[in-house]
Amino acid sequence: MTRNKDDEKELYDMLGSKEDRKEFDRQFKNPKSNFKIAIVVDMWLTGFDVPELDTIYIDKPIQQHTLIQTISRVNRVCEGKDKGLIVDYIGIKKNMNTALKKYTNFEAEEFEGIEQSIIIVKDQLEVLGQMFCNFNSKKFFEGTPNEQLECLNRAVEYVQLSEEFETRFMAAVKRMKQAFNLCSSSDKFTDEDKDYIHFYCAVRSILFKLTQGDAPDISQMNANVRNMLEGAIQSDGIEELFESGKHIAVDIFSDEYIDKINAIQLPNTKIKILQRLLSQAIDEFRKVNKIKSLEFTDRMNHIINEYNNRRKDEAYANEVLDEVAEQLSQLLSSLKNEKNSFKEMGIDYEEKAFYDILFSVAKKYEFEYPEDKMVELSKRIKTIVDDKAKYTDWSTREDIKANLQVDLILLLDEFGYPPVTIDDVYKEVLEQAENFKKYAE
């Protein structure tokens, strides 16, 4: 509670000092404390994060952003807690729907009750069953662990038959999962219903991980399905590829990793993996060489766009899928060669980035410039950039950036590059310098 100078002295003193209230705050956030229940008016409803808090009782009208903040007090997940409970004494459903539509990306037309959620789950199970009518999922429910894993991988491949089919599947499972979170304890679901819910969620989670990173929360799955999901991802070395791709802590261009990719027998899945791995590798390359990374991004997007266009053709053959996978694999190999190309030129990794800018501008404006002078000029540019970048705030100080530009102009003039005045040269070099130092710090 808050207080003011008009409160009676007994009530005023009851709330304690500022330090007392800070201690209440600390104790309530401590899971080992015996302070388990707090009655609040406005304080602690917003911006007060207690992951272990699992239940909130609402007995006052709350609207708009404050309502979203309030219910968010119990939506944190932590060990032993996968959901929160909101006990509504006053009827906030209408306000909840209004706030969700205004402040969140909640896709449902309205926040459903338990009965409506059960209907949605049943409906989506029927839709998904029709989508999988030509897929034999028997091994997932009755097979050995290896057969279950193999069935999951085949299901992921099956979903990728076309872009439209994949999009419908992902949306249907997401809708089903959102509703199931609200009614998972209902006795209106048979064991078979729950098995298929777990199956579809596992397929979506693997596909989600292939395309967007970490799989969404799958805590509703039973331990057996969760373990199978992890095994399905790790069985092809995909998990390891993703982790190394994020941090480039391991040589993702090594023969060992390429062999792991080539060993994947499911063409659509293989393409997804190559695309993600390439994206991560290019992002890492961009930290040093901006202009070349953009070139590789364009080449990758061209291949992926062709792949997506071809997927619309129902007669899309595995030979064509293999061709796309091979193109992506070759692009990964080209990126590897590009990353190491500086060694043969007698310059370092960062100097090669400035050389690529000089080469790109010469190609763009169609003028000739001696190779040896371009190599030497790239070295001198990096020396100047290093000198200016010794100041920690150089990229935000206009005086230093102005001095850098003057030094670059004088250096380029000394080397007679370019033969005619082209402002793009200074702009490109300065952007590369800022890009390089941004990630080098």
Residue range 63-102, pLDDT digits in tens:
776 777 777 777 777 777 777 787 877 777 677 666 666 5
Does the residue 244 lie in any domain? no
Task: Let me know whether 269 and 173 are in one domain.
Answer: no
> What is the rounded average pLDDT of the residues 354-376?
86
Total domains in the fold of the chain: 4
pLDDT digit string, tens, across residues 261-316? 667 777 777 787 788 778 888 888 887 788 888 888 999 988 888 877 776 665 55
**pTM > 0.85:** no
Which domain range does residue 95 map to? Answer: 9-103
The pLDDT confidence band at residue 126, using thresholds 50, 70 and 90, is very high
Mark whether 410 and 387 lie in a shared domain. Answer: yes
Of the three residues 59, 82, 103, the one that is the final residue of a domain is: 103
For 247, the token pair is 């941090």
How far apart (Å, rounded) are the C-alpha atoms in residues 157 and 177? Answer: 21
Helix (H, G, I), strand (E, B) or coil at 128: helix
Helices of type H across 365-422:
371-388, 398-414
Mean pLDDT of all residues in 362-373: 86
Residue 242, domain member (yes or no): no
Look at residues 172, 206, 235 and tell me which one is the last residue of a structural domain.
235
On the question of pLDDT at 41 being above 90, the answer is no
* Together in a domain, 265 and 169: no
| 204-215 per-position pLDDT tens digit | 988 887 766 544
Least confident of 107-111, 136-140, 271-275: 107-111
Q: Among 39-53, 289-303, 336-350, which range has the highest average pLDDT? A: 289-303
Q: Going by C-beta distance under 8 Å and a sequence separation of 6 or more, which residues neighbour residue 263?
A: 236, 237
Residue 56: φ, ψ to 5°: -135, 135
Residue 243 lies in a domain: no
Question: For position 238, what pLDDT does the model report?
Answer: 42
Task: State yes or no: pLDDT of 118 exceeds 80.
Answer: yes
CA distances from 414 to 217, 373, 380, 431 (A): 59, 11, 11, 21
**Domain stop point among 319, 340, 361:** 340
C-beta of residue 296 within 8 angstroms of C-beta of residue 285: yes
Q: Let me know whether 60 and 97 are in one domain.
A: yes
In the 3-class helix/strand/coil scheme, how is 323-347 assigned residue by residue?
A: HHHHHHHHHHHHHHHHHHCHHHHCC
